[in-house]
Each structure stands twice: as structure tokens, then as C-alpha cells.
Amino acid sequence: MTYIELQFPFTGKTLPSDHGYGLYGAISRVIPEAHSADWLAIETIPGAARGDGITQLDPQASLKIRIQQDRVPLILKLAGKRLEVDGHAIRLGAPQIFLLKPATTLYARIVTIKGFTEPEPFLDAVCRKLDELGVKGEPVVGPRRVVRVGNHTVVGFALAVHDLSDECSIILQEQGIGGRRRMGCGIFSPIFVDSVIGEPPKRIKEAHQ
């Protein structure tokens, strides 16, 4: 099954900085089938943190949702809808639809694996997950991050994976690593600059040649 990414433009200025869970809840209220759907991956929307728990959204950004192609008609129901997220609101436009493209370096802002909250055991768990997917690459763990899921706080880490073949790159973008992909975790995308992980610029550039 082919996976695609829908990118919804939006109007709206702010969201909570930790809005993955709230955004998932807002989408589920519009599309009840999205609740507990293991086929759904929703990226959080980037912006500039104000320092008070609120993020000023990047007006050039979009809401990105990654799904199997046969789910497109369902997710298109979001077009034109207003999403209420913890006291903030955005309104979505009509999305553009893209096929996933391979890159030798992929990056996830946060990956969570249950029971692994320290860097070294987390890296070992990542390597096992990659083996299970049949993906060969070089994982590099970044800073610890936390997300709120309901009344719980979940610990994860930023993660880059280098030296991916085209096939492995697509598999990792389709399947991700760890849980809570509906809430913005474990979603991998190509990157141009990795100032968070701190890898040499040369390697990042090679990912997009």
C-alpha cells in the first residue's frame, strides 16, 4: 500500500507548544474514525516558542498528516474545518498531497519507546526497532524531550538516522519508530540542517543530493 502525506494550509496564530495530544483530539472530534487509529501519523505544527508554553505558529507551515493512500477520502473531511486545541483554534484549507521521497538522512523531533528514558538504553532499543523493520542506518540520539499525553508525561528523544538507502528511507517514513504517532511522535522526515543533533553539515547535505 502506498503512503502519502497531506499538507493542510491553515489560518491561526498560536497553539500550545506541546499540542500533539490536543491536536489529535481535535482531529478525532471531526473524524471519529481517527480515534485510536494505528494507521494515522500527525505531525505537530512548527513555530517559535514564546517561553510561556505557547508557540507562535509559522504562517508558511502546514499541518502534515501521513496515511495510506486509501484513507485519503476520510482525511479530506478536515478541509475547511476549524480545530479547537486547548483554547486555541486553527482553520484548515484544502490540502496538497505528496508521495514520500527518499533521503539518506531522516529526523524525528521526538521518538518515544515505552520503558526507555535514558539515552544509551534508548539507542539500543532504536537499533532493535530498525532491525525489526529491516532498515539499515546509523541512528544518532539527540536531546531528551517530553510530551503530555492526557494526564501523563512521556519521555522521549530527538532522533536522526543517517546512511539510509532509498528503500530503507521510505520504510522508515512509512512505519516510524515507537508509539504515539497520532500525537506527533516517531514521525521521520528529510532534513537539510540538523543543529539539534549536531552532525557534520557535510553529511546532512549529502542526504539531499
Mean pLDDT score across all residues of the chain: 91
Least confident of 82-96, 123-137, 180-194: 180-194
What burial letters (b/e) apply to 177-202, b meaning 16+ CB within 10 Å? bbbbbbbbbbbbbbbeebeebebeee
Residue 201 pLDDT exceeds 90: no
Specify whether the CB–CB gap between 28 and 42 falls below 8 A.
no
pLDDT of residue 197: 52
What are 26-46's pLDDT values in tens digits?
999 999 999 989 999 999 999
Q: What is the pLDDT of residue 150?
A: 83
Identity of the residue numbered 12: G
User: Do residues 4 and 100 touch, judged by C-beta distance below 8 A?
Assistant: yes
Strand partners, 8: 63
